[in-house]
Structure 1
Amino acid sequence: MNKLFTRLLLSVLILSCIHSSAQTTDSIFRKKIVVSKVSTAPKIDGILDDKVWESAPIASNFIERQPVNGKPIPDSLKTEVKIIYDDLGIYFGAVMYDPEPDKILKELTERDEIGNDDFFFILLNGYNDRQQSLQFIVTAAGVQYDAKMTNDSEDSSWNAVWFSEVKINDDNWVAELFIPYSELRFPKKEVQTWGLNMEREFRRTRTRYSWNYIDNSKGGFSIYDGEIHGIENIKTPVRLSLQPYLSTYVNSFDGDSEVVFNGGMDLKYGINDAFTLDMVLIPDFGQTKFDETVLNLSAFEVQYAEQRPFFTEGTELFSKGGLFYSRRVGDAPSGYPNLNENETISSFPSKVDLVNATKVSGRTSGGLGVGVFNAVTKNAYATIQNSETQENREELVEPLTNYNVLVLDQRFGDNNSISVINTNVLREGSFRDANATAALLSITNKNNTFRYNVEAKSSWVLTDSTKFGMEGRAQVANISGKHRFTTAINFRTIDYDINDLGFSSNTNYINYYGYYGYRYLQPRGFLNNLNLNFNLNFNRRLQPDLYYAYNFNFNSNFVTKDFLAFGGGFEMTPFGVNDIYEPRVKGWYVKQPAYYNPWVWISTDYRKKFAVDLNTDFQKFDEKNRQIAEFRFSPRFRFSDKLKLITSVSAIFSSNEQGFVSFDNSQIIFGQRDRNTLITSLESQYIFNNKMAANVSFRHYFSEVDYHQYYTLQRDGSLEDNSFYTNPHDTTYNSWNLDVRYSWWFAPGSQLTFLYRNSIESFFENSGFSFSENFDNLFEKPQFHSFSIRISYFLDYNRTKNYFSKPQKEERVGLRFPPKMTLGNNQKG
């Protein structure tokens, strides 16, 4: 360990020296546009006939970003964008010429989705630091998409309320947008200078054009912003919005029905120009998407995606360092009841109720980002029954708990940052408490060709005793040119544990990593893109030292000029693996044979009405008859610009795999098993217009496990036949989910949703059912049916206050809605 810390210390010192010479990327050419202020707001209708547009400055001379980087836009696709501003916000009027306007692609989708569409794209950076931007996109079908961009990382869960209309004309299409200042972030200065870039997607040829030139050969595109000048003497309006909701659920399970009514509210308040308070009061997450559950036989829990809107929106600061896994908040209880003789658990809560949750986040003009998250959950109890007396009692399995995250992220230069993150979990009483801390340093050199990263993390878990663990990482990456490489060293100590508010699985290792990649920077021959990469991983156990695994893999990705994408790869562990996790006991390991794993995939052109994705993967072990074969077939059909269907069938066949089964007295029992898994899914959407959509989502997961033989694990990692262990462990698991959803965005930021949900889960302690027998058994299980209605309404302070203004003041329309604005087909923000 001393050698390890010495290596990391040297890395930090080297990076400190590099930092002293790091400079900004001011040598990058930045276009500038000086915009003018208007006293009358244009009508947002997709027609640029308002007088205020006549003398507006024009941004033009767009440049191809991909596939041919740096080529001027052809005259036939000339793109001009007019920009003006007033006391309420900033306006964009984009005219995008097209010699064949009847062929403009305009598939309707739900909000925050882009299908087979032309679109217009705006990146606005109020602090002009080339590291954080707000993204606003409108498609030729009038659908809005918005996101936060941080160093080219996109968070599309962020939603704003802004306004847009599109119109297709004889030789062009027009996108007219209004973005209120209440949705932007900028410093409190008399004279503003904002970062700006704009892009146009010409979908028929899948060509992207940007206003300010973006060099694809190095760095990320966020550093290539141009600039807006001329915005002066504007004030950030009061940023206060409320979103009250009402919901009702009619639930039925195993013959029992209940009707539930909920009401609550989300609140957002701009504390100042930089920081925003988000709060959810009496939360309701009953209409979130179902989890894609699996039969888990591994040593680690499955990490499911967060589906709750409050926890997915605006989390770019909180995700730094990987310490925050928001599903821990309101997840399963951390405790387990103490059972007396003749007692069994009759009910155990699967979730803990959330009392409230609060986020405060933002970034100062000096580049300091601050994020504070806090949430409180209720007590949760298990019900225990005495089998002799039939009496019930309750026992606390999760007490009142507070979850807290604090993030400080200081940016400097154009692409550098240093961050400190702390997470804390405090449970009332004698239950487990936990704390985790991380420090991160990321530096890019002055030429934007190399990036250097150092991370140091620690965890404390407090129960009857204190458990302390550490994680560290140092990395150097070449991020420019055709040839790119990365080298890194990572380690985790045996007691590293962030699972109270984060997610960590394997521990007690040191990893040495190397990467080499080659890519086309311009189309060549019949290919638009080519990307090849080679990866080496060498892993050892830390305590006590032991060879763990040596892994090599190769990946390839090709895209033809007809937009057929295909590729493949190969992976191998030529020296086998000493698996230190599968035994489930510290200090033990099991020897796994070498394996060789080729795969290929193909994805046809999504511009076509019919497209298909196909994957095949074959893993062969250096052991007789032991292999894993995987196939996935996913066709999709777009019947029209309103209706599409996506289906998927995946099959995984694993033969003679060996894995942990159980403990038998002091012995660790392994089993040899066959496992077959079939996953079928369907997604279908009918989009009535850009405010109204119907969606059907279906998934059936089936997995069957059949054991042939049992073994006892030996101290040297080998397996010895065990003919005395006869406990059955064959398994058949089914998970069935169906959602039918109708959504109507009836006003900006406001939504009405109807949802019908049907779900079934079955677990049988045997295998070998026929196809029909399996479904007969599945549908004999209790089914969960739920029909719910939820309505939420967006209330903005600046708009609402005018409802109560005196008659003589009614002409002063609120800051969010300019005087001549029509809502038209605007969608939820």
Structure 2
Amino acid sequence: MNFFSRLLFLIPFLAVGFSMNGQTSDIIPRKKITIPRITDAPKIDGILNDAIWQNSPIATDFVERMPNNGKPIPDSLKTDVKIVYDDLGIYFGATMKDPEPDKILKELTERDGIGNDDFFFVLLNGYNDRQQSLQFIVTAAGVQYDAKMTNGNEDSSWNGIWYSAVQINDDGWVAEIFIPYSEVRFPKKNAQLWGLNMEREFRRSRTRYTWSPIDNTKGEYSIYDGEIYGIENVQSPTRLSFQPYISAYVNDYDGATKTIFNGGMDLKYGINDAFTLDMILIPDFGQSKFDNEVLNLSAFETQYEENRGFFTEGTELFTKGNLFYSRRVGGFPSAYPNLSENEEIENYPSSVDLINAFKISGRTDGNLGIGIFNAITERTYANIRNTETNETRKELVEPLANYNIFVLDQRFGDNSSVSFVNTNVIREGNFRDANATGLYLDLTNKKNTLNYIANVEGSWVKEDVTKFGMEGGAGMAKINGKHRVSGEINFRTKEYDINDLGYSSETNFINYSGYYGYRYLQPKGFLNNLNLNFNLIYIRRLETDLYSNFIFNFNSSFTTKKFFNFGGGFEMTPFGTNNIYEPRVEGSYVKVPDYYNPWAWFSTDYRKKLAIDVNVDWYKYNEAGRGELSFEFKPQYRVSDKWKLYLNSNVILSDKEEGFVDLLNEEIIFGKRDRNTFINSLESQYIFNNKMALNLAFRHYYSEVEYSQFLILQNDGELIENTVYNESQNATYNSWNIDLRYSWWFAPGSQLTLLYRNAMDSYIGDSRVNILNNFRNLFDEPQLNSLSLRISYYLDYNRVKNWFGPKDKLKDIDESLRNEKMNRSAFSTESNLRR
């Protein structure tokens, strides 16, 4: 049966589950509120005693979202929110009753962190499209958290400039918030109509209440937005801001000390009401988090998280279709030096310098999202030494390169979209060029009960020759009610390669999958919620056709009414696996025996001072002595509302696993090995107040591999005894990192960071090294000790122009004073709490 025959064969089976649709109700009617314009702005201090609040309209009658979906909020927790607006932005004053205000939970965290806290948040959608909103949260401790929410997916890397203050009083607590128009995208119209929802978390009982009711049985959070009326004749201010920085580094490595000074700037410019330009000039990523490095023995590279702010903030358009893996920009060079006889590489760079980068993104009135990303990287050379003459030379391993992404994303209906994405990499000279293009459909019916997805991508790579590959897929899902089902088909051809600007690992497969899930929609018995799901996955190699795998998987999770979380699952491959990737040679495969894999986990109540997470995972293969056991223990202890400790210990013990080792005279050598991995990390956070924090992070990774036998792979996937290969492949790898960071948010959007780092790693061709010798080897390796200081300052054009504007313009003076007043009050939360 060929590929297209299989696709047609599957379609009837995908449709079977959707007969369970049943009768459904329409979306809950949207709440509405009309708000007035004011002329005198309130002081943002958490006290609603300004005159403008006295007769303001009130959003009230909050409804429980979870766990008891749809239940009215009790009178003891009555929540009222007053809303007004002026020429600068929109104001919220939330009064939240609490019968025991001295027990309000208010743990301090760093910005964009929520701990054991009561909180209040505002969800604003300037285009009222029910798909993308901005989220503004303030905790009872006065900490700000903001994010972009797109179809239920939250991107907390976005940081807005807004103002808030809180007060705890005899009746409960108050949150006062001001959101400038510069932070909200909205159409250029005289009369605005925005989407709005608001939510309160009452942490002691872990209940959540929303202003506009939400039906948990179907659809995403954002489709239940209410609406704001009354905002008229407002304009977005000039959206131009600068964030200049200076940084200094003192790095000591292997006895050599180097001092580095940097300076640069980030720029944001609102091209119009909808589109924003973000640009980074003279980048400096020296204080980005270390990668959690591992000893990788697999057929694919390790995929690390992005830790550079410019590449994480505001990238929701660019991540459509997973064609963009931002670590490619400034990552490893694309070429390897050509070595002559008696030459060796003295230094091969691990990264490429970024010259600059920019992104333009936004959305039109017709809900068309447009995104453009561009970055340019510097020429990079490897140092090569002649072992006989000791002469050195340089060879270009990465030329001047341009990385580009173009995205079109058309939204329609309440929760549907069609998207086009193109990425390309152009390198100067005869180096490798690449292009990838994708088309994506995500369609949800009007009742938000059925979802349909489809995608197709093509990749073109030009090096010595040009190769073309493609992938695609389609699926359907029932997304409402207790019973949920879905089915998908996905394929990827052998030549598919997006690794110049994306990440692709497995290729040359067709994959059929089916899912059935059951969940509680309301608390029942001793449980707050229950989720069960069953999955079937069938995989074949495309070229040439070959059975690859059949997987059955079951997952479960439960939460009790005392908020003890637990669950587990089971997976099995009853027919074994033909692994086409581990041999590292096209057309080859190795047979892997069938396995069963049970696991279990639990998590205690995070409201308690001591909370513990435990995970146990066990693979047992149908082969004597072969298996893997993983155990993870993660306690955290809250010493006080300012100080928290985290520990994470993970042990992975793998016996008699079989993996690729080497190629010898066209024979593929495998090895039978035991591997033991121990990962320990410790983090301590001390939060002085809502703008100052001290953070200590430590991680030690240890992995040892010992080979007991070498084998030769046959054409039929079997492994036979080897009589020739006897090179030692035993290894021990250590990675050690310490970060001690002091952060001070001394003004809105402005930050000082003082960072000390200690890092080292070691690799030796031996195993079963005792603990003392292992650490002796590690500490004998060259160490990096780094002390760095980085100061960035946020400058908004509208404030700066008032510094130098005409002094006789009353409006400018009034706005300047108003901004300064908000500036001072935005960070007065700590003193307010002490009143």
Report what 1:568 is aligned to: 568
Cα 1:204–1:177, aligned 2, differ >3 Å: closer, same or farther? same
Pairing 1:625-704 to 2, within 5 Å after superposition: 625-704=625-704
Note if 1:193 corresponds to 2:226.
no
Q: 1:227-246 counterparts in 2 under 5 A?
A: 227-246=227-246
Q: How many Å apart are 1:723 and its aligned residue?
A: 2.6
Instruction: State yes or no: 1:725 paired with 2:747.
Output: no
Is this contact kept in 2: 1:691–1:827, CA < 8 A? Answer: no
Distance in structure 1 (CA, Å) of the matches to 2:828 and 2:559: 34
Match for 2:663: what amino acid?
F
Indicate if the aligned counterparts of 2:676 and 2:703 stay in contact, CA closer than 8 A: yes
Q: Structure 1 residues 801, 810: closer, same or farther in 2, change over 3 A?
A: farther
Aligned to 1:823: 824
Task: Report if aligned partners of 2:28, 2:213 keep a CA contact under 8 Å in 1.
Answer: no
Residue identity opposite 1:38 in structure 2: I
Contact 1:143/1:827 (<8 A) preserved: no
Residue by residue over 1:146-169, the C-alpha shift from the partner in whole angstroms, topping out at 9 and shown as x without a partner, is: 000110110000010000000000
Q: Which residue of 2 aligns with 1:513?
A: 513
Q: Which residue of 1 aligns with 2:587?
A: 587
Aligned pair in 2 of structure 1 residues 482, 137: CA closer, same or farther (>3 Å)?
same
- SS class of match (1:232): coil
The answer on whether the counterparts of 1:649 and 1:680 sit within 8 Å (CA) in structure 2 is: yes
C-alpha offsets along residues 380-403 of structure 1, whole Å, 9 cap, x if unaligned?
Answer: 000111111111110000000000
Aligned mates of 2:747, 2:26 — CA distance in 1: 43
SS at match of 1:128: coil
Q: Is the 8 A contact 2:423 2:435 kept in 1?
A: yes
Is 1:144 the counterpart of 2:107? The answer is no
1:44 maps to amino acid: I
Q: 1:705 to 1:361 in 2, by over 3 A?
A: same
Query: Equivalents in 2 of 1:631, 1:59: separation in Å?
Result: 49
Q: Who is 2:52 aligned against?
A: 52
1:475 aligned partner: 475
Q: Residue 263 of structure 1 contacts residue 282 of structure 1 at CA under 8 Å; is this kept in 2?
A: yes
Distance across 1 between alignment mates of 2:55 and 2:46: 18
State how far apart, in whole Å, the 1-side matches of 2:285 and 2:504 are.
25
What is the aligned partner in structure 1 of residue 736 from structure 2? Answer: 736
Alignment match, 2:763: 763
Gap runs ≥5 in structure 1: 19-23
User: Which residue of structure 2 lines up, in the alignment, with residue 21 of structure 1?
Assistant: none
Aligned to 2:21: none
* Equivalent-residue separation in structure 1 for 2:181 and 2:8 (angstroms): 45
Encode CA deviations 1:339-363: one digit per residue, 9 max, x unaligned.
1111111011110000000000000
CA shift, 1:27, in A, is: 4.7
Aligned mates of 1:288, 1:27 — CA distance in 2:
44
Any idea what SS the aligned residue of 2:798 has?
helix
State the match for 1:436 in structure 2: 436
* Deviation (angstroms), 1:9: 13
1:449–1:430: structure 2 CA closer, same or farther, 3 Å change rule? same
1:520-549: CA deviation from partner (whole Å, max 9, x where unpaired):
000000000100001110000000000000
Is the 1:380–1:398 Cα contact (8 Å) retained in structure 2? yes
Q: TM-score, normalised by structure 2?
A: 0.96
Deviations 1:83-108 (A, max 9, x none): 00000000000000000000000000
1:43·1:822 contact (CA, 8 Å) conserved in 2? no
1:565-601 alpha-carbon deviations (Å, 9 max, x no partner):
0000000001100000000011000000000100110
Letter in structure 2 aligned against 1:520: Y
1:347 aligns with 2:347: yes
How many Å separate the matches in 2 of 1:792 and 1:181? 23
Q: Deviations over 1:131-158 (max 9, x none)?
A: 0100000000000000001101100000
C-alpha displacement at 1:824, in angstroms? 3.3
Deviation at 1:806, TM superposition (A): 2.2
CA distance in 2, matches of 1:384, 1:694: 43
Paired residues in the alignment total: 820
Q: Which residue of 2 aligns with 1:615?
A: 615
Q: The residue matched to 2:602 in structure 1 has which SS?
A: strand
Whether the 8 Å CA contact 1:538–1:549 is kept in 2: the answer is yes
> What residue is the counterpart of 1:269 in the other structure?
269
Q: Which amino acid aligns with 1:565?
A: N
What letter corresponds to residue 97 of structure 1 in structure 2? K
Q: What does 1:344-383 correspond to in 2, within 5 Å?
A: 344-383=344-383
Query: What secondary structure is seen at the aligned counterpart in 2 of 1:191?
Result: coil
Shift of 1:193: 0.4
**Amino acid corresponding to residue 270 of structure 1 in structure 2:** G
Return the alpha-carbon distance in structure 1 between the equivalents of residues 5 and 424 of structure 2.
25
- Taking structure 1 as reference, are residues 817 and 624 closer, same or farther at Cα in structure 2, changes over 3 Å only? farther
What secondary structure does 1:321 align onto? helix
Q: Is the 8 A contact 1:237 1:815 kept in 2?
A: no
CA separation in 1, counterparts of 2:819 and 2:730? 66
CA contact (8 A) 2:28 2:215 kept: no
Matches within 5 A, 1:79-228: 79-228=79-228
Q: Write the distance in 2 (CA, Å) between the matches of 1:733 and 1:534.
A: 38
| 1:8–1:474 CA contact under 8 A, matched in 2 | no
Question: Quick one: distance in 1 between partners of 2:5 and 2:414?
Answer: 30
Question: Do 1:243 and 1:794's aligned partners in 2 also have CA atoms closer than 8 Å?
Answer: yes
Contact 2:667 2:713 in 1 (8 A): yes
Cα distance in 2, alignment partners of residues 517 and 8 from structure 1: 25
- Quote the sequence identity (%): 66
- CA distance in structure 1 between the partners assigned to 2:618 and 2:30 by the alignment: 49
- Alignment partner, residue 597 of structure 1: 597
Q: Match for residue 320 of structure 2?
A: 320
Quote the residue 1:283 is aligned against: 283
Which residue in 1 is equivalent to 2:832? Answer: none
Look up the SS of the partner of 1:807 in the other structure: coil
Amino acid in the other structure paired with 2:822: M
Q: CA deviation at 1:28?
A: 3.1
Aligned partner of 2:253 in structure 1 is: 253
Q: Which residue of 1 aligns with 2:37?
A: 37
- Match of 1:535, as an amino acid? N
Q: Which moved more, 1:766-775 or 1:539-548?
A: 766-775
| 2:295 paired residue number | 295
RMSD: 1.8
Determine if contact 2:7/2:489 at 8 Å carries over to the other structure: no
Cα pair 2:323 2:502 within 8 Å, conserved: yes
Kept in 2, the 8 Å contact 1:611–1:636? The answer is yes
Query: In the aligned structure 2, how far is the partner of 1:64 from the partner of 1:490?
Result: 39
Q: Which runs of 5+ in 2 are unaligned?
A: 19-23, 830-835
Shift of 1:814: 4.0
Q: 1 CA distance for matches of 2:782 and 2:716?
A: 46
Contact 1:748 1:827 in 2 (8 A): no
Q: Which residue is 1:487 aligned to?
A: 487
Which residue is 1:389 aligned to? 389
Deviation at 1:826, TM superposition (A): 3.2
Give the distance between the partners of 2:225 and 2:827, measured in 1 at CA.
27
Distance 1:191 1:774 in 2: 70
- Taking structure 1 as the reference length, the TM-score comes to 0.97
Equivalents in 1 of 2:361, 2:656: separation in Å? 51
- In structure 2, C-alpha distance between the alignment counterparts of 1:495 and 1:582, rounded to whole Å: 17
Equivalents in 1 of 2:777, 2:256: separation in Å? Answer: 21
Equivalence map 1:61-72=2 (5 Å): 61-72=61-72
Q: State the secondary structure of the residue aligned to 1:120.
A: strand
> Which whole-Å CA distance do the structure 1 matches of 2:3 and 2:705 have between them?
45
Distance in 2 separating the partners of 1:616 and 1:701: 19
Is the CA contact (8 Å cut-off) linking 1:11 and 1:454 kept in structure 2? no
**Alpha-carbon separation, structure 1, partners of 2:573 and 2:628:** 15
CA distance in 2, matches of 1:425, 1:284: 22
Deviations 1:229-272, CA, capped at 9 Å, x for gaps = 00000011000000000000000111111000000000000000
In structure 2, C-alpha distance between the alignment counterparts of 1:10 and 1:396, rounded to whole Å: 50
Distance in structure 1 (CA, Å) of the matches to 2:477 and 2:288: 38
> Aligned partners of 2:437, 2:827: CA distance in 1, in Å?
43
Which residue identity does 1:278 align to in structure 2?
D
What is the distance in 2 between the residues matched to 1:410 and 1:398?
36
2:331 matches 1:331: yes
1:335 and 1:398 in contact (8 A); partners too? yes
Aligned mates of 1:806, 1:237 — CA distance in 2: 19
Question: Aligned partners of 1:599, 1:817: CA distance in 2, in Å?
Answer: 58
Task: Summarize the alignment of residues 793-808 of structure 1 with structure 2, pairs less than 5 Å apart.
Answer: 793-808=793-808
